[in-house]
Structure 1
Amino acid sequence: MMNLKYASLFESFNIGKGIRLKNRIVMAPMTNFSSNPDGTVSDAEVSYYKRRSNGVGMVITACTYVTVNGKGFHGEFGGDRDEMIPSLHRLASAIKKRGAKAILQIFHGGREVPPELVPNGDIVSASNIPSNGEGKPVPRALTETEIESIIRDFGETTRRAIKAGFDGVEIHGANGYLIQQFFSPHSNRRNDRWGGTLEKRLTFPLAVVDEIKKVVFAYAKEPFLVGYRFSPEEPETPGITMADTLELVDALTKKGLDYLHVSLMDFWSKPKRGIEDARSRIQIIQDRVGDRVPLIGVGSIYSADDALRALETGVPLIALGRELIIDPDWVQKVEQGRESEIVTKINKNHQHELEVPNPLWEKIIHSPGWFPGVE
């Protein structure tokens, strides 16, 4: 029997127009490097998602690229053409059959794309500014026509997600990829309608939102969610500050989105620049958003007490990422009063039991500090 202390984690939640989540726990989007070479979802990926879809209220998938020159990872599945709809359907149905809502995260890698993954090594971004770091390729600035084409690509991938049976899409505007590159003063040095002032740097992200919402209105016969994920700060100078992000949040809340999702490694991390505030970034954002749009919080939440403490900040939905890889039965253990049995460190001998695909497992085991338990 569940410890009543954690009952609030299992309250249902109405999101969007007509979608009800069975609890407040979300599986965070995590790249798994494990798709087939042709961009279709692999058997190993389907097993991985099946294993983690029984307990949570909603699963947000790894990102899928909306156009061929936006593929950001080896082993990433595609949504860039209609031939991918059966592959996407296979993933959506695997998640939904286990009681979770299925959300497809969609993105374009921009200047973060490995040259070998795109035709002719043609890396594009808002401007011809490379990422910080030695040997980073210099991207080519997108033309006006190309920008408008990519915006339509986001809409087309949304149409495919609808046809494939997903319950929504999450716009990946975080982690330094193309949408964030247009918002960032580091990567966007344009002086046209797509850049310059903060307001103009918002043009591309908001145009993507508008295009996706237009497609949803035209094609979705059932309730369909549109969310947006963002990173609140960048380390670069110039770069996105917390003050910039609050302007982004204000602009996004006016767009009628179904949720916002903050991308953080630590739920309790505090702002570094842009505002003077002793609270965590998520608490500041939650205060700014209020009840205008639901917020998903994430970042180093491992135990049931971690999740409860996070929920008590007023953030209505809590996402687990690494912890659901470490312990796919996290939700069921809390629900059954077995929270003391939750595993919070990766066991190097349990890959088969955890149903983690080989490419992802290799990344975990050979990346000290990324997962607890990997030294």
Structure 2
Amino acid sequence: MTDVIDVAADHPFGLSALPYGSFSVGGGPRRVGVRFGGYVLDVAALADRLRWAHADLFAGPVLNPFMAAGPDAWATVRADLRGWLAADPDPDLFTPLADVALHLPVEVADYVDFYASEQHATNAGRIFRPSGEALLPNWKHLPVGYHGRAGTVVVSGTDVTRPVGQFRDPEVTFGPSRRLDFEAEVGFVVGVPTAMGDRVAVADFERHVFGVVLVNDWSARDIQAWETVPLGPLLGKSFATSMSAWVLPLAALDHARVAPPARDVPVLPYLAGDDRAGLDIAIEVTIGGHVVSRPPFATMYWTAAQQLAHLTVNGASLRTGDLFASGTVSGPDRDQWGSLLELSWNGRDPVTLADGATRTFLADGDEVVMTATAPGPGGVPIALGEVRGTVRPAQV
């Protein structure tokens, strides 16, 4: 606990942000909390004290019950939190961030990863199909994606063990991946589920999606390249996906809404109507503390609303806790590319770090950290929680 709660009006985790997470203190039980400045507010304790109508939604260790309650509950709780914090908050309900352990904030039900950046898809196409078209014929007609592995989504700060698998170099080989990569992505967490057969329209995005996280879609490029044809990624992706410990409510991003990039191919009606569905989120990626990329999410060709509409257009149901990620975020400039695959051009052009070391792909011991900010009220930026992970040697 702390004696005084002093959070500056322009703090990136101030009243305009208020992301939710799951925390524990000293090995105690997991609780739902809200980050406020450099503190964690015990939301369950506050809800009980104030006898909130929604207090029972915070009785467990994760956000799923609260997320399932829907937009009216989300708005009511957020308004109550903002009002209480703006008054004279009781310091007994806060713990300094340095004194807590953070956990996966949601029980992840399903995980889907998309491929929504035109620049990233173009770069990948030029790398792997240098004599062909950079974009495949379907790319501008639908948000391309694949179904991932929910059970290996881990919270920020979890170490990632270098995967082993099968790849060709140049003969078919088995062993630790030699081309381990990061992918800077933004993820969206589903709150309100749907029944099988239902579809979610672009306009109904905010009725189902609770909030936003940062995602590192760790990728073993050599394993991925060998296994992908003809079906798609499996072992090259499924060993780990890291997400930030804090879920920023969509309501916090009202001032970050932008139009998506101009589209030169008409979309089908079920993907139309997302004129303000883009988000101005600025991401920064470091390796060992050295900035290697600053990907701009506002450049994403396919919006999250379109991704959700496409994900459900065949009648596939949503579950509370579903996570879907944007795919690698890459901007038009080289220092805006969101993966080492692009930054090193598949190993051809090594990236130089601050200490003079070079990387084509990740080395054991590398710590990758992604942070992000977005415009808030009055021009004050708000922060998304970081996603951090350190590469550990393969288990062989």
State the TM-score bracket (shorter-chain normalisation): under 0.3
Relative contact order, CA 8 A, sep 6+: which one is greater?
Answer: 2
More helix by share: 1
**TM-score w.r.t. structure 2 length?**
0.25
Larger Rg: 2
